[in-house]
Amino acid sequence: VSDLDLPRLLPGELAGLSAYEPPGGDYPVRLDANENPYPPDPVILDKLARALESVQVNRYPDPASLDLRKAFAGHFGCPVERVMAGNGSDELIGFLTWTLRGCEAGGKPSVLIPIPTFGMYSIAASAAGYDVHEIPFDSNLEPDMEKVLEVVREKAPNIVFLSNPNNPTGSFFSKEQIRAILNATDGLVVVDEAYGDFSGEKSWICEVESGGNLAVLRTLSKVGAAALRSGFLVAGEELLDEVDKIRFPFNVNGYTQVAGEVFLSNFERLHSGINEIVDQRERLSREMAGLGFTVFPSRANFLFIKCGGREKALWRFLQDRGIMVRFLARLSVAGDALRVTVGTPGENSLLVEKSREFLAEGGKDA
Ligand SMILES: Cc1ncc(COP(=O)(O)O)c(C=O)c1O
């Protein structure tokens, strides 16, 4: 063999990127990944077991994931032709950026992303050679609509990604704000509703039209099925036909197809867990604010918390006591912050108790 000439083979875009590194270690309380803390109810578990047994492991699965897409379309009331299934919505973000990277000769495609937001948008876009226009939220963590609309008009981005509710801030784009962005561009506006089930608001899925510039992402990861890796893109048929050209055949494995179908066709059984998370979010928010932390209003299953420059110290303190939350360093407008996933009532109580201890001990690094 010869030496592999990586510098010659790699595109420049990869130089500025680094691989996703999940936190190492064993933490009894995981409040860092925005997962649902509850296992599915026994009826879903029973149906899952039977569905998984039905998979013929020696055969390739349905390349079009048709039954899974039908279950999704049935749950959300949209045409199955406008639904694509993905190996998590991460994969679909990747597919969209690869598909829509057209540009004029000598130019570059671009995306617009209000920040801070979910990291995959800029990773996927940068890897695909895009310019990334990042527009910081204002100091109340509300979208800076004036700036967003100005850059949309000036730069004509190929794609605008809106995480709604937004990860990690928990903020929410109003109907009027999203309409204004949709009307200001003929690029694609992707409303990512990964946390949509916690927002109490209607989905944008029913607004997706054939030929229109709105697309919606959903995932089963946050409502209790993160292990499945099951995400969905809802978009006009013409766009989906193009995305389908670069979608890998069999991108959704056979086990995920049948298991996802079970979750979607029994979705009402997830509601009590979702409602409990929303109630606990409000309780945790009150109690953490009661300790003197700044807790921003959240429409998702996590809270965005600032603690007067002691974020890293509190993060370490909690980690040393078996609780993992997410530390976010030097965010554009917000500086350091913590993102805390809402856990079970017991986990939330423990978090509050340990945070209180942190303050009682002087609020310094252990
Ligand atoms: C806003 C947002 N979109 C998409 C995803 C990815 O979800 P999935 O597990 O479906 O890939 C996440 C995961 O954290 C997210 O926060």
* Whole-structure pTM value: 0.96
* Contact 34 CB / ligand 1 (< 6 Å): yes
The answer to whether residue 16 scores a pLDDT higher than 90 is no
The CA distance from 228 to 91, in Å, is 13
Q: Which residue has the higher pLDDT, 365 or 227?
A: 227
At residue 330, the pLDDT reads 85
247: helix, coil or strand? coil
CA of 292 to the centre of ligand 1 (A): 30
310: helix, coil or strand? coil
Residue with tokens 């069999």: 250
In this prediction, residue 135 has a pLDDT band, given cuts at 50, 70 and 90, of: very high
Three state DSSP letters for 1-64 = CCCCCHHHHCCHHHHHCCCCCCCCCCCCEEECCCCCCCCCCHHHHHHHHHHHHCCCCCCCCCCC
Look at strands 323-331 and 29-31 and give their pairing: parallel
The residue among 64, 61, 68 whose CA lies nearest residue 262 is 68
* Contact 163 CB / ligand 1 (< 6 Å): yes
In this prediction, residue 366 has a pLDDT band, given cuts at 50, 70 and 90, of: very low
At residue 365, the pLDDT reads 56
Burial class (CB in 10 A: 0-12, 13-18, 19+), 359: middle
Give pLDDT tens digits for 214-226: 999 999 999 999 9
The CA distance from 323 to 316, in Å, is 9
Bridge partners, residue 101, by sequence: none
* Helix, strand and coil percent figures for the chain, each rounded to 5: 45, 15, 40
Region 52-81: what's the mean pLDDT?
98
A 10 A CB-CB count for 102 gives: 8
**How far, in Å, are 26, 255, 341 from residue 350 at the CA level?**
17, 36, 13
* Contact 65 CB / ligand 1 (< 6 Å): no
The answer to whether residue 363 scores a pLDDT higher than 80 is no
Interior angle at CA 246, CA 185 and CA 99, nearest 5: 15
CA of 365 to the centre of ligand 1 (A): 31
* Contact 88 CB / ligand 1 (< 6 Å): yes
What the block records as the tokens of 271 is: 């509601």
* Contact 169 CB / ligand 1 (< 6 Å): no
The answer to whether residue 355 scores a pLDDT higher than 60 is yes
Residue with tokens 């047994």: 53
CA of 310 to the centre of ligand 1 (A): 28
* Contact 164 CB / ligand 1 (< 6 Å): no
CA of 349 to the centre of ligand 1 (A): 26
Instruction: Determine the angle formed by the axes of helices 237-246 and 88-99, rounding to 10 degrees.
Output: 100
